[in-house]
Structure formats: C-alpha cells, structure tokens
Amino acid sequence: MDSYLHYKTIIMFKFIELPNSELAKISRIRRQSPTDTLQIHNLIGGEESQDLSFPHATFTLGLDELKNIKSPVPHRTGTRVIETSSSKFNFIYDLNNTAEGSEPQMYQDKLFVKSYETAFKTILNQDTENQSIQVRTLRIPALHIDALWLHDAKSPAKDKFVPVRSQGLFNNNSFYNRKDFFSILKRTAIDYNIDDDLMGG
C-alpha cells in the first residue's frame, strides 16, 4: 500500500500484533526458511515491513446462531494478514485457531485478493477521528460471505460492516450498520433454509 494509505491507517484504525512464532508459520507456507525472521507492519508503532500488513482478527458465525439467537455473537477463529507490495495486495494468509494451535492457510485467488484490496481502500477513504475502531473480518462460510468489521471498542452499537464478497446479498464495499447487516443475514439464513454450517468457504 502507498504511504498515504499507511498514514491514514495508523491514525484511524487499530490492528493486532503477532509474535514471531506465528509469523514463522506464514514464512513456512510461503516456502521460506523456517528460521527466517519476518517483521510485520503492525501499523501502531511497530517495525515496518515491505511484506506483511494489516493483521486483524477473524470471526465466524454459523447458521444456527443466525436463525435462533436474537443477537448472535461471532466467535474468534483466528487472524488474517495481508501480503502487500508497494502498490497492491498480493496474497492473504489466515492463521486458523485449532486445539493444537494455529494452522496457516494461504489465499491466492486474484479476484478474492483484489476484493479485499478494494474493501480496504473503501474504509480508508472514510473521514473519522475515532481512534478506537478495530478492523476485523467476519465470515459466514455457509453463505459464502466475508465482510470487514469496523468494531468500535467504546460503542459497539456503532459498529459498521463492509461486505467484501456476499453473493449478491449486499452491495459490496458499502457501509452497513449493525442492525441492518444482521437483519439481512438472519432473513437470508431463515429463507434459504440451509442447515449445513460446513458449506461454503
């Protein structure tokens, strides 16, 4: 990402930091030496890197929760990291939580990666001075939905969601408030009568 976008990100949003042990897992999946030390641009005062940026938490919701719980609470499932060059997103890496620790996964699909780049540019173009906003990803695998989740730690009712891919259920790269976003998800889960939470990706 260019320096302007990095500068705005530092001011506006909070990202997470990853220990070297987690970065080493990404190193291995990138076919680099496990002993290589990868630095990450944590965007809140850490060391800069040309490679890995925007580390943020991933969350998931299942269909049963959408159908049966009035105010479903997404579950933390891991961490997502973006590999960037000077002008674009290259790859996406997930560190998925398991009983044995995190497992790395790499996304190389150009359309999917480009969709994330566009979504990030969308959120960076908004005007805000609220520095309590945490960037997250919310996934509903059975509905093939990924969205950036702008979580306001001081006022969660003001959370916003920006769909990255949504199979036509939302307008991608548009902002939705919490109420409208979950209303559409709940209605879709009920109307489609899909029961298999393992569907999707």
- Which stretch of DSSP H or E encloses residue 163? strand 160-165
Q: Tell me, what DSSP letter sits at residue 154?
A: S
**Widest distance between CA atoms in the chain:** 50
Cβ-based neighbour number of residue 133 at 10 Å: 21
Q: CA-based angle 77:93:136, to the nearest 5?
A: 50
CB–CB of 147/154 below 8 Å? no
pLDDT over 60 at 11, yes or no: no
pLDDT of residue 197: 52
Cβ-based neighbour number of residue 166 at 10 Å: 19
91-110 burial, b at 16+ Cβ within 10 Å, e below that, comes to bbbbbeeeeeebebeeeeee
Lowest mean pLDDT across 41-45, 88-92, 106-110, 185-189: 41-45
Lowest mean pLDDT across 34-43, 69-78, 126-135, 141-150: 34-43
pLDDT of residue 171: 96
pLDDT over 90 at 95, yes or no: yes
Q: What is the pTM of this model?
A: 0.83
**Is 196 buried (19+), middle (13-18) or exposed (0-12) by CB count in 10 A?**
exposed
What's the whole-number mean pLDDT along residues 156-184? 95
Report the C-alpha gap between 28 and 165 in whole angstroms. Answer: 28
Report the C-alpha gap between 154 and 104 in whole angstroms. Answer: 31
Q: How many CA atoms lie within 13 A of 123 on its CB side?
A: 32
pLDDT of residue 119: 96
What's the whole-number mean pLDDT along residues 125-154? 88
Choose from 40-54, 118-132, 144-158 the range with maximum mean pLDDT. Answer: 144-158
CA 45, 46, 51, 57 torsion-angle sign: negative
Percent of the chain with pLDDT over 70: 77
